């Protein structure tokens, strides 16, 4: 089972060289993960990376974009004919150089935990649009097909990671959770959003893997708790107060065995001025705030440590600093 203060990371890194990115991860974290590398190709962005295999998908490499364009072809029929509840659809090296390089570098190594990730079905269907700019979420058929596709990517990813670890962790990355309720997403039904996340979580758990949900903003946290995920990853650097608001939900979550992954080292511009002492101070303040409502021992016993988000928008030097600060923090806690 997971132990307190294990470290891992979130998705993206700013590297052009996949091997350099993977070696840094393998040398740094308790729970290594494969990196998304958006500087290599737009196909490594959150939506394009997992869109391979979707009917009616169109790609414009000149404009670095993908979209859905329905037509009279048999793409949809062929998708349904090939689909089963055990379907695996691969993520190709063109879309995940970091993943394929990571697996090659693992060789004969074995870990207690390895982490993978998938764009959450809510973020995916609200981020992928048709030719008129309408998110495919609002097309009931395409929303369901997108969920089917993502579930198949989860199964495939689990299969290629499991030989290298006793336990596979797969995070569902749902940054769009922080925007639900805004004017742009008024048509999104919260129960349907929950269903999408629950189905993704259940797919992960049905494989025997550990499920997580990542959101780096001020999310609908009760919705995340209700998803059934084993781990909830949040931006503890900027949003600890939002967790404290839902102290009853999170206390219940942790008492039932859930882990909170504290994204305590910023991946924003704030990283430029942080140091080990300031991060430890931020951490202590966060624990103190949350412990006003939840027993401190429970908080500390159900805690993982991560950066607040991916570092794809930072420099390599800043990425290394983020990782070093995280490791320095852990050293003060164990």
Please state the domain extents for the chain.
Answer: 18-333
Q: Is the pTM higher than 0.85?
A: yes
Mean pLDDT confidence for 162-181: 93
- Secondary structure (DSSP) of 130-182: BTTS-BGGGSHHHHHHHHHHHHHHHHHHHHHHGGGEEEEEEEEE-GGGGGTTS
Return d(Cα 178, Cα 238) in angstroms, integer: 13
pLDDT digits (tens, 9 = 90+) for 313-326: 999 999 999 999 99
Return d(Cα 27, Cα 98) in angstroms, integer: 15
Mean pLDDT confidence for 221-246: 95
CATH node for 18-333: 3.20.20.210
The two structure tokens encoding residue 136:
């495919």
Return d(Cα 13, Cα 314) in angstroms, integer: 8
Q: Is the confidence at residue 27, as pLDDT, over 90? A: yes
Mean pLDDT confidence for 266-276: 97
Q: Which among 198, 199, 181, 182 has a CA at the least distance from the CA of 190?
A: 181
3-class SS of residue 258: coil
pLDDT digits (tens, 9 = 90+) for 29-66: 999 999 999 999 999 999 999 999 999 999 999 999 99
pLDDT digits (tens, 9 = 90+) for 175-223: 999 888 777 777 899 999 999 999 999 999 999 999 999 998 888 899 9
Q: Is the confidence at residue 277, as pLDDT, over 80? A: yes
The sheet carrying 259-265 orders its strands as 111-119, 165-173, 210-214, 231-234, 259-265, 303-307
Q: Which among 242, 285, 9 has a CA at the least distance from the CA of 250?
A: 242
């Amino acid at each position: 089972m997971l132990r307190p203060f294990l470290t891992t990371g979130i998705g993206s890194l700013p590297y052009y060289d996949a091997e350099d990115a993977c070696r840094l991860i393998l040398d740094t974290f308790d729970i290594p993960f494969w990196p998304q590398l958006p500087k290599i190709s737009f196909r490594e962005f959150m939506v394009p990376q997992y869109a391979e295999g979707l009917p009616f998908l169109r790609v414009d490499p000149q404009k670095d974009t993908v979209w859905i364009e329905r037509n009279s072809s048999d793409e949809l029929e062929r998708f349904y004919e090939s689909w089963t509840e055990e379907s695996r659809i691969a993520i190709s090296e063109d879309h995940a150089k970091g993943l394929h390089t990571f697996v090659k570098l693992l060789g004969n190594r074995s870990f207690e935990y390895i982490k993978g990730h998938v764009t959450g079905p809510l973020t995916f269907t609200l981020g992928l649009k048709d030719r008129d700019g309408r998110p495919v979420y609002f097309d009931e058929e395409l929303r369901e097909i997108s969920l089917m596709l993502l579930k198949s990517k989860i199964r495939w990813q689990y299969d290629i990671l499991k030989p290298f670890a006793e336990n596979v962790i797969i995070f569902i990355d749902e940054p769009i959770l922080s925007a639900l309720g805004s004017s742009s997403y008024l048509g999104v039904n919260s129960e349907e959003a929950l269903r999408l996340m629950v189905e993704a979580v259940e797919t992960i758990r049905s494989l025997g893997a550990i499920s997580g949900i990542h959101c780096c903003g001020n999310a609908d946290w009760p919705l995340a708790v209700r998803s059934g995920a084993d781990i909830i990853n949040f931006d503890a650097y900027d949003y600890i107060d939002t967790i404290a608001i839902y102290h009853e939900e999170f206390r219940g979550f942790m008492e039932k065995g859930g882990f909170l992954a504290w994204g305590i080292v910023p991946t924003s511009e704030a990283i430029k001025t942080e140091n080990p002492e300031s991060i430890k101070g931020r951490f202590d303040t966060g624990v103190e705030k949350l412990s006003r409502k939840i027993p401190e021992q429970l908080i500390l016993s159900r805690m993982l440590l991560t950066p607040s988000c991916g570092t794809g928008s930072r420099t390599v030097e800043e990425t290394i600093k983020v990782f070093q600060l995280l490791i320095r923090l852990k050293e003060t806690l164990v």
